[in-house]
Chains A and B, each alone.
Chain A
Amino acid sequence: MPLVNGGKIADDSFVKLAVDTPLPESGDILVPAERFVGEAEVLLKRAGRVGVIWPNSRDIDELVPYLGKVAAVALVFPTFRDGRAYSQARLLRERYNYRGELRATGQILRDQFVFMLRAGFDSFEVKKQADAEAFMQTAKRYSVFYQPTGDGRITALHRRMQLRHSEGVGT
Chain B
Amino acid sequence: MYAYDEIDRTLVNERVSEFRDQVKRRLSGELTEDEFKILRLQNGVYLQLHAYMFRVAIPYGTLATNQLRALAHVARKYDRGYGHFTTRQNIQFNWIKLAELPDALADLAKVGIHAMQTSGNNMRNVTSDQWAGVAPGEIEDPRIWSELIRQHTTLHPEFSFLPRKFKIAITASDHDRAAIKIHDIGLKLIKNEEGETGFEVLVGGGLGRTPFIGKTIKHFVHGRDILSYIEAILRVYNQYGRRDNIYKARIKILVHELGIEKFSREVEEEWQHIRNSSLQIDDEVIEDIRSRFTYPNYEKLPHMPDELRQATADADFEAWRKNSVSPHKVQGYSIVTISLKPIGAPPGDATAEQMDALADLADKYSFGEIRVGHEQNLALPHVAKRDLPALWKALDKLGLATPNVNLITDIIACPGLDYCSLANARSIPIAQELTRRFANHELANLIGRLHINISGCINACGHHHVGHIGILGVEKNGEEIYQITIGGRADEAAALGNLIGPGVKFDEVADVIEDVVEAYLALRERPEELFIDTVKRLGVEPFKERVYATR
Q: Which residues in A have some Cβ–Cβ distance to B below 8 Å?
A: 80-84, 86-88, 90, 94-95, 109, 111, 114-116, 118-119, 130, 141-149, 156-157, 159-161, 164
| Total A-B residue contacts, Cβ distance less than 8 Å | 96
B235, A146: Cβ atoms under 8 Å?
A: no
Against A, the Cβ 8 Å flags (1 = close, 0 = not) of B141-157 are: 00000000001111111
Using A109-B35, A161-B288 as known contacts, say yes or no to A84 and B14 having CB atoms under 8 A apart: no
B157, A115: Cβ atoms under 8 Å?
A: yes
Closest residue on chain A to residue B22 by CB atoms: A111
Contact for B38 among A80, A87, A90, CB less than 8 A:
A80
Closest residue on chain B to residue A86 by CB atoms: B158
Contact for B157 among A84, A111, A119, CB less than 8 A:
A119
A80, B161: Cβ atoms under 8 Å?
A: yes
Using A86-B161, A147-B152, A160-B5 as known contacts, say yes or no to A81 and B14 having CB atoms under 8 A apart: no
- Answer yes or no: B175 CB below 8 A from chain A CBs: no
Closest 7 CB pairs of A and B: A83-B161, A118-B157, A144-B11, A148-B278, A115-B157, A146-B151, A86-B158
A149: chain B residues at CB < 8 Å are 157-158
Q: How large is the interface on B (under 10, 10 to 19, 20 to 34, 35 or more residues)?
A: 35 or more
Main SS of the interface on chain B? helix
Cα distance A48–B158 when bound, in Å? 33
A118: chain B residues at CB < 8 Å are 157
Closest residue on chain B to residue A148 by CB atoms: B278
Query: What is the minimal beta-carbon distance from B136 to any residue of chain A, in angstroms?
Result: 31
Cα distance A114–B288 when bound, in Å? 27
B285, A90: Cβ atoms under 8 Å?
A: no
Against A, the Cβ 8 Å flags (1 = close, 0 = not) of B256-276 are: 000000000000000001000
Cα distance A158–B152 when bound, in Å? 12
- Answer yes or no: B18 CB below 8 A from chain A CBs: yes
Cα distance A11–B285 when bound, in Å? 45
Cα distance A161–B288 when bound, in Å? 8
Closest residue on chain A to residue B12 by CB atoms: A144
Cα distance A157–B287 when bound, in Å? 11
Using A86-B238, A87-B239, A141-B18 as known contacts, say yes or no to A81 and B38 having CB atoms under 8 A apart: yes
Cα distance A52–B342 when bound, in Å? 63
Q: Which residues in B have some Cβ–Cβ distance to A below 8 Å?
A: 5, 7-8, 10-11, 14, 17-18, 22, 30, 35, 38-39, 121, 151-162, 235, 238-239, 243, 273, 277-279, 281, 284-285, 288
Contact for B7 among A84, A119, A156, CB less than 8 A:
A156
> Which residue, of A81, A83, A94, A149, has the highest number of chain B Cβ atoms within 10 A?
A83
Query: What is the minimal beta-carbon distance from A137 to any residue of chain B, in angstroms?
Result: 10
Query: What is the minimal beta-carbon distance from A97 to any residue of chain B, in angstroms?
Result: 13
Known: A115-B157, A146-B154. 14 other contacts (CB 8 A): A80-B161, A86-B158, A86-B238, A90-B157, A94-B277, A111-B39, A114-B155, A115-B160, A119-B158, A144-B14, A146-B151, A148-B279, A157-B281, A160-B5
B11, A146: Cβ atoms under 8 Å?
A: yes
Closest residue on chain B to residue A156 by CB atoms: B7
B158, A87: Cβ atoms under 8 Å?
A: yes
A115: chain B residues at CB < 8 Å are 155, 157, 160-161
A161: chain B residues at CB < 8 Å are 284-285, 288
Query: What is the minimal beta-carbon distance from A58 to any residue of chain B, in angstroms?
Result: 11
Query: What is the minimal beta-carbon distance from B247 to any residue of chain A, in angstroms?
Result: 16
Cα distance A157–B11 when bound, in Å? 13
Closest residue on chain B to residue A111 by CB atoms: B39
B158, A90: Cβ atoms under 8 Å?
A: yes
Query: What is the minimal beta-carbon distance from A132 to any residue of chain B, in angstroms?
Result: 14
A83, B238: Cβ atoms under 8 Å?
A: yes
Cα distance A94–B157 when bound, in Å? 14
Closest residue on chain B to residue A121 by CB atoms: B157
Using A83-B162, A84-B238, A86-B238 as known contacts, say yes or no to A160 and B157 having CB atoms under 8 A apart: no
A80: chain B residues at CB < 8 Å are 35, 38, 161
Cα distance A153–B331 when bound, in Å? 46
B160, A144: Cβ atoms under 8 Å?
A: no
Query: What is the minimal beta-carbon distance from B164 to any residue of chain A, in angstroms?
Result: 10
Cα distance A7–B288 when bound, in Å? 36
A160: chain B residues at CB < 8 Å are 5, 7, 288
A83, B14: Cβ atoms under 8 Å?
A: no
B7, A81: Cβ atoms under 8 Å?
A: no
Cα distance A81–B39 when bound, in Å? 10
A114, B151: Cβ atoms under 8 Å?
A: no
A116, B157: Cβ atoms under 8 Å?
A: yes
Query: What is the minimal beta-carbon distance from A135 to any residue of chain B, in angstroms?
Result: 14
Closest residue on chain B to residue A127 by CB atoms: B35
A146, B152: Cβ atoms under 8 Å?
A: yes
Query: What is the minimal beta-carbon distance from A86 to any residue of chain B, in angstroms?
Result: 5
A95: chain B residues at CB < 8 Å are 273
22 A–B contacts from the bound complex (CB under 8 Å): A80-B38, A81-B161, A83-B161, A83-B162, A88-B239, A111-B18, A111-B22, A114-B155, A115-B161, A143-B10, A144-B10, A144-B14, A148-B278, A149-B158, A156-B7, A156-B11, A157-B288, A159-B7, A160-B5, A160-B7, A161-B285, A164-B288
